[in-house]
Amino acid sequence: MRRALALACLLTLAACAPAAVPSVGGGAVAVVDPSDGGRAFLSATWGEYSKVAFYAGSLDAYDLVLRVSGDGLRINTPEYCRVDVRDILCTVPQLPAGRNFVLPMRGSRLSAVATYKRASGSTHRAQVRQ
Protein backbone atom coordinates (compact mmCIF):
# COMPACT_ATOMS: atom_id res chain seq x y z
CA MET A 1 0.00 0.00 0.00
CA ARG A 2 2.81 2.40 0.92
CA ARG A 3 4.64 1.70 -2.33
CA ALA A 4 1.53 2.35 -4.39
CA LEU A 5 0.91 5.63 -2.58
CA ALA A 6 4.55 6.72 -2.99
CA LEU A 7 4.47 5.80 -6.68
CA ALA A 8 1.23 7.73 -7.20
CA CYS A 9 2.78 10.80 -5.53
CA LEU A 10 5.92 10.60 -7.68
CA LEU A 11 3.92 10.23 -10.88
CA THR A 12 1.77 13.22 -9.94
CA LEU A 13 4.86 15.35 -9.31
CA ALA A 14 6.49 14.23 -12.56
CA ALA A 15 3.38 15.15 -14.52
CA CYS A 16 3.59 18.69 -13.14
CA ALA A 17 7.19 19.26 -14.32
CA PRO A 18 7.46 22.44 -16.41
CA ALA A 19 8.54 22.14 -20.03
CA ALA A 20 8.52 25.79 -21.15
CA VAL A 21 11.25 28.43 -20.96
CA PRO A 22 10.00 30.64 -18.15
CA SER A 23 11.00 34.15 -17.23
CA VAL A 24 10.44 35.24 -13.65
CA GLY A 25 11.39 38.20 -11.49
CA GLY A 26 12.09 36.23 -8.33
CA GLY A 27 11.64 32.83 -6.77
CA ALA A 28 12.62 29.47 -8.22
CA VAL A 29 12.15 27.98 -11.67
CA ALA A 30 13.14 24.72 -13.41
CA VAL A 31 13.25 23.85 -17.12
CA VAL A 32 13.28 20.43 -18.82
CA ASP A 33 14.14 19.90 -22.51
CA PRO A 34 11.20 17.76 -23.67
CA SER A 35 13.34 16.01 -26.33
CA ASP A 36 15.80 14.71 -23.70
CA GLY A 37 14.97 11.16 -22.66
CA GLY A 38 17.35 11.49 -19.71
CA ARG A 39 15.16 14.26 -18.22
CA ALA A 40 17.99 16.62 -17.31
CA PHE A 41 16.92 20.02 -16.05
CA LEU A 42 18.24 23.50 -15.45
CA SER A 43 16.94 25.30 -12.39
CA ALA A 44 17.47 28.74 -10.92
CA THR A 45 16.70 30.47 -7.67
CA TRP A 46 16.66 34.24 -7.96
CA GLY A 47 17.19 36.64 -5.08
CA GLU A 48 19.95 38.56 -3.33
CA TYR A 49 22.04 35.39 -3.53
CA SER A 50 21.04 33.55 -6.70
CA LYS A 51 22.06 30.12 -7.92
CA VAL A 52 21.76 28.13 -11.12
CA ALA A 53 21.89 24.34 -11.04
CA PHE A 54 22.06 21.75 -13.81
CA TYR A 55 20.90 18.22 -12.96
CA ALA A 56 22.13 15.47 -15.33
CA GLY A 57 18.99 13.34 -15.00
CA SER A 58 19.02 9.57 -15.54
CA LEU A 59 21.84 9.61 -18.14
CA ASP A 60 25.37 11.01 -18.13
CA ALA A 61 25.67 14.54 -19.56
CA TYR A 62 28.74 15.35 -21.65
CA ASP A 63 30.33 18.64 -22.72
CA LEU A 64 28.06 20.71 -20.47
CA VAL A 65 28.44 24.42 -21.23
CA LEU A 66 26.64 26.83 -18.93
CA ARG A 67 26.62 30.46 -20.12
CA VAL A 68 25.48 33.01 -17.54
CA SER A 69 24.89 36.64 -18.41
CA GLY A 70 23.62 39.64 -16.49
CA ASP A 71 24.66 42.87 -14.83
CA GLY A 72 27.25 42.90 -12.04
CA LEU A 73 27.92 39.15 -12.25
CA ARG A 74 29.90 37.53 -9.47
CA ILE A 75 30.50 33.79 -9.06
CA ASN A 76 32.69 31.56 -6.91
CA THR A 77 33.65 28.55 -9.07
CA PRO A 78 36.98 29.41 -10.74
CA GLU A 79 37.98 25.79 -11.53
CA TYR A 80 35.13 25.37 -14.03
CA CYS A 81 34.35 28.93 -15.11
CA ARG A 82 35.97 31.82 -16.94
CA VAL A 83 34.98 35.25 -18.20
CA ASP A 84 33.95 35.33 -21.87
CA VAL A 85 33.50 38.97 -22.98
CA ARG A 86 30.62 40.04 -20.67
CA ASP A 87 29.34 36.55 -19.84
CA ILE A 88 30.61 33.82 -17.57
CA LEU A 89 31.21 30.51 -19.30
CA CYS A 90 31.37 27.30 -17.24
CA THR A 91 32.37 23.98 -18.81
CA VAL A 92 32.04 20.53 -17.26
CA PRO A 93 33.42 17.67 -19.42
CA GLN A 94 31.21 14.95 -17.89
CA LEU A 95 28.44 15.03 -15.30
CA PRO A 96 27.42 11.50 -14.22
CA ALA A 97 23.76 10.49 -14.11
CA GLY A 98 22.04 11.66 -10.94
CA ARG A 99 24.63 14.37 -10.22
CA ASN A 100 24.33 18.14 -10.44
CA PHE A 101 26.45 21.24 -11.01
CA VAL A 102 25.49 24.21 -8.82
CA LEU A 103 26.70 27.74 -9.51
CA PRO A 104 26.08 30.32 -6.75
CA MET A 105 26.12 33.91 -8.02
CA ARG A 106 25.16 37.52 -7.52
CA GLY A 107 23.93 40.01 -10.07
CA SER A 108 20.82 41.37 -11.69
CA ARG A 109 18.94 40.69 -14.94
CA LEU A 110 20.42 37.20 -14.93
CA SER A 111 20.06 34.63 -17.69
CA ALA A 112 21.52 31.12 -17.97
CA VAL A 113 21.72 28.78 -20.95
CA ALA A 114 22.86 25.16 -20.62
CA THR A 115 23.96 23.13 -23.65
CA TYR A 116 24.92 19.48 -23.22
CA LYS A 117 25.23 16.18 -25.07
CA ARG A 118 24.20 12.61 -24.37
CA ALA A 119 26.21 9.47 -25.16
CA SER A 120 24.01 8.98 -28.24
CA GLY A 121 25.43 12.24 -29.65
CA SER A 122 22.20 14.22 -29.32
CA THR A 123 22.57 17.84 -28.17
CA HIS A 124 20.09 19.52 -25.84
CA ARG A 125 19.55 23.06 -24.56
CA ALA A 126 17.69 24.68 -21.66
CA GLN A 127 17.40 28.34 -20.68
CA VAL A 128 16.18 30.31 -17.65
CA ARG A 129 15.86 34.09 -17.20
CA GLN A 130 15.29 36.36 -14.26
Decide if 49 is inside a domain: yes
Q: Give yes or no for a contact between 79 and 63, defined as CB atoms under 8 angstroms apart.
A: no
Q: Say if 7 falls within a structural domain.
A: no
| Residue 9 domain-assigned (yes or no) | no
pLDDT at 27: 63
Q: How many domains does the chain have?
A: 1
On whether residue 16 sits in a domain, the answer given is no
Tell whether 30 is covered by a domain. yes
Q: What is the pLDDT along the chain (130 residues), one digit of tens a residue?
A: 544 444 344 334 333 333 333 444 456 677 888 899 999 999 988 887 889 999 999 999 999 999 999 888 888 777 889 988 889 999 999 999 999 999 998 888 889 999 999 999 999 999 988 8
Phi and psi torsions of 74, nearest 5°: -145, 130
Instruction: Check residue 26 and give its pLDDT.
Output: 56
pLDDT at 98: 96
β-pairing, 100-117 with 61-75? Answer: antiparallel
What does the CA dihedral 86, 52, 112, 61 come to, rounded to 10 degrees? Answer: 110
The rounded distance, in Å, linking the Cα atoms of 95 and 111 is 21
CATH number, domain containing residue 91 = 2.60.40
31 to 6, 10, 18, 114, 124: CA distances (angstroms)? 24, 18, 6, 10, 12
Query: Is 64 contained in some domain?
Result: yes
> What residues make up the domain containing 77?
21-129
Domain assignment of residue 59, yes or no:
yes
CB 27 within 8 A of CB 46: yes
Q: Does 12 fall in a domain?
A: no
**pTM reported for the whole predicted model:** 0.75
Q: What is the CA radius of gyration of the chain?
A: 15
